Amino acid sequence: MSAAPVLEGSTARRPASGLRAPDRVVSVAVPILSVLVALGLWELISRTELISQRDLPAMSTTVQALWDMVQTSVFWIALGHTVRGWAIGLGLAALLAIPIGIALGSSEFASSAFRVPIEFLRPIPSAALIPLLFLTLGTTLKSEVFLATFGAFWPLLVQTMYGVRDVDPIATDTARSFRLTRNERLFRVTLPSSLPYIMTGLRISSTVALILAFTAELFMGTPGLGQRMNYLESFGLNDQIYALALATGLLGVAIHFAISALEKHVLRWHPSQRKAAAS
């Protein structure tokens, strides 16, 4: 007696779909659990006086201080200033790095000609420019934007160059065989192929821009969360200082998820995003 045939369109796919729900639960539960464990460890270290609460306020104390702060206009104005410096810096970095990266990545001669200046400027710590900015631009928004732009420029430039170089030569030759113009090859072949690299660079640069915007506020006194933290430190309000640090971290997480969502939307046609959506 022969076994009943397996219908590929229905029965064969049921076990795979049955495994997806637990996988989703695990993928959501593990990050949440790790955050809860870290917060609980923070609370335990402070409450047991392993580290004095004067130096490290308890997690519950810090969260309460943050809750009190978010109900004031001072906090939201400072947050707005930080987001403004981050957004302008990242936007300028993208406007400069992507076209330059495409130009350098498309030409072996240009790439080799500018390799030494790029490798010379890229390792310079952005914070090392703060004294120079003090003397030239002063403690203004321009200094914060310059610092954020300078730091965010390099990861995006390098990723764009690598993305352009990684374009499949067969696709380029096929476009030429169809007699596409240089601009048509750029927008139909080069940019779509290098877009995953560019989005990765944008995700890295967004974090760098936030760090440097906060650094400018902290050390140069430009308005924002960093300046506010400096003010609180002068009065020894450690719980509020840690609350601002927590707020900055949460802002970084929000930016990460926003850029990741943008990446998924822009690359929804890409195989990597289709596989992620299927899984």
pLDDT in tens, 208-264: 999 999 999 999 889 999 999 999 988 888 999 999 999 999 999 999 999 999 988
* pLDDT at residue 199 tops 50: yes
Is residue 185 in some structural domain?
Answer: yes
Mean pLDDT, rounded, for 115-125: 88
Highest averaged pLDDT of the listed ranges 7-11, 19-23, 163-167: 163-167
In this prediction, residue 29 has a pLDDT band, given cuts at 50, 70 and 90, of: confident
* pLDDT at residue 7 tops 60: no
Closest CA to 148 of 201, 92, 75, 200: 92
- What percent of the chain lies above the pLDDT cut of 70? 89
Is residue 47 in some structural domain?
Answer: no
Is residue 20 in some structural domain?
Answer: no
Mean pLDDT, rounded, for 111-140: 86
Burial 178-194 (b: 16+ CB within 10 A, else e): eebeeeebeeebbbebb
Give the lowest-confidence range in 10-14, 262-266, 275-279.
10-14
pLDDT attached to residue 2: 43
* pLDDT at residue 18 tops 50: no
Q: What is the CATH number of the domain that holds 150?
A: 1.10.3720.10
Can you read off the two tokens belonging to residue 271?
Answer: 């195989």
Is residue 128 in some structural domain?
Answer: yes
Give the lowest-confidence range in 38-42, 167-171, 247-251.
167-171
Mean pLDDT, rounded, for 250-279: 80
In this prediction, residue 275 has a pLDDT band, given cuts at 50, 70 and 90, of: low
- Our count of domains for the chain comes to 1
* pLDDT at residue 127 tops 50: yes
Which residue do the tokens 């400072």 mark?
78
In this prediction, residue 274 has a pLDDT band, given cuts at 50, 70 and 90, of: low
* pLDDT at residue 183 tops 80: no
pLDDT in tens, 62-108: 999 999 999 999 999 999 999 999 999 999 999 999 999 999 988 88
Is residue 179 in some structural domain?
Answer: yes
Mean pLDDT, rounded, for 125-137: 86
Is residue 151 in some structural domain?
Answer: yes
Give the lowest-confidence range in 36-40, 44-48, 122-126, 250-254.
122-126
pTM for this structure? Answer: 0.82
Residue 179 domain boundaries? 73-278
Is residue 57 in some structural domain?
Answer: no
pLDDT attached to residue 213: 94
Is residue 196 in some structural domain?
Answer: yes
